[in-house]
Amino acid sequence: MKNNEVFTVLDQNGVKVDLEFIDALKLDGNEYVIAGPKESDEACAYKSIVKNGEIEYKCIGQGEEFKRVLQKYNENLERS
């Protein structure tokens, strides 16, 4: 995916939400996407999961997994 590319996910209520791609990273053998609503400063981390040959994105919430992804994202920003 490219920066500013828009893709659609289902929220926890099954409603389609358009998100703007910000970054992608690999951590502990998993791939994650950082994305947020267009025209917003907010962002969430989504785990990339291949299901039936298609990529799905699952929101990882704000627990320990999120903290590890955020730390990796910030380390990547510092290197750029």
- Contacts of residue 6, defined as CB under 8 A and 6 or more positions apart, other chains included, come to 18, 19, 20, 21, 38
Confidence of residue 8 (pLDDT cuts 50, 70, 90): confident
* The pLDDT value given to residue 75: 93
Torsion angles phi and psi, residue 12, rounded to 5: -65, -15
7-11, 25-29, 53-57, 61-65, range with greatest mean pLDDT: 25-29
pTM attached to this predicted model: 0.83
Q: What is the pLDDT of residues 36-72, one digit of tens each?
A: 988 888 888 999 999 999 988 888 988 999 999 999 9
How far is 52 from 68, CA to CA, in rounded Å?
Answer: 28
Q: Where are the domains of the chain?
A: 6-79
